Structure 1
Amino acid sequence: MNDYLIQNFGKNVAQLRKKKGITQAELAEVIGVKKAAISKIELGTSYPTFANLDKIARYFKATPNELFGTSTDIELERAVIKTDEYSEKAEKIIRAVSKIEEYSEEAEQILYTLERIDGLERILASSQDYSNEVIYILDRLTYAPIMETDKGEPLYRDDFGHLTTDPSVGVKYARHLSQLQLLLKKADKIKEIANDVNFILEHKDLLDKGS
């Protein structure tokens, strides 16, 4: 094995082992060698076979730099990894903020509907009689406005579901979705926005650093 490659190997293995909080005997058992073999490896007086080297690398999930590099090499690699992670998280936050802004109007409508539903739940949970208020909230949530032309004429739907202004062929008024229907239709979007908000909150330290 090339001396240049393994000159830092022993002390790096020792650092990885201590960082993981295991003894030489425990590492030896994992690798399938005697404790003395691990001791010699860490002292730099003996080196593992390629098979055992592979076992060590897999056990510690170590990169080549973490096994063979100098302390400077290892710190540089960690700094690069952290920079990549920071950039990736920052990019996700930017995308999330952009998406939230894009759907801000819809989010406000959703919030308004949720507040009405919450108010309805509180009324229903109350022992008092608020039947008129319940009816009012339900009416507002389920109300679907009639579609109109630019001139304010009502639109109808024929037997095939097509829009028409002729009431003689129209089966029923054409209506927009109610607040409750819009909420149900946007269920996946609500979840997506919530996930984006949670991601931003979990990584708000990145925003703090950038400000």
Structure 2
Amino acid sequence: IIVGIKGFQRWITMIGSPEINKVIRKVLSPVLKENGFNKVNTRNNWCWIDQCIWVLEIGAVGKYFSDVTGWSPMSIQVGLGIYYVFVPPEEDEIKKGTNGELLPKQHQCHLQEQLYCKLDQSKYINNFDNPAERNRNDIWWVEPDGSNIDEVILDISKSFIDDGLKWYKNNTDLETAFANIENQHNGYNKYYKAKYFAEHMRYNMKLDMYNHLFEQEKKRIDALFK
């Protein structure tokens, strides 16, 4: 990109996805492999443990989000998820790999979480108009020229080791995961997941309860569209 400054021009190099991906593969991918991730594809990563599939996705916020909020367009968010194979997909078809393995997206996971930035980003975000954007820590600011990308990916690795790994391991325990689902906001999605958890864990009284709640909620929603 050429920028004019007081009568002359200079080149500004803008970082792109290939440059960021190179640093991810160098810094973060080995950490994921060391901690059980079987399929490491830079931005999309999976780990299969018993009845659970761990999912870690890395995404840029993009131009539209940047225009609205002020974050640089290549700024990064990291989504975590666990997909439980005994809960059947209701609508979205789950993509499969070459060996038939399930490759769910983070938004398809039954439990979801984010990694959080531990860096001081005040110099980038203190001038945002929206206080909510100034206070959020689920995005890593990436300088347009990529000058801080090593620091960003190192911090993502640290956040994964300190917090993400603990979240994954805790919720690989089905008792913990079921408790977390039961603590979710009452509604269709909660009841759907809870009834399959109860069935899988042979909690017959809870299975009856969540089946009943699910059918009631389904009827209520169906009635809204008649």
Q: TM-score range by the shorter chain?
A: under 0.3
TM-score by length of structure 1 reads 0.20
Point out the structure with the larger helix share: 1
Which is strand-richer, 1 or 2?
A: 2
TM-score normalised to structure 2 length:
0.20
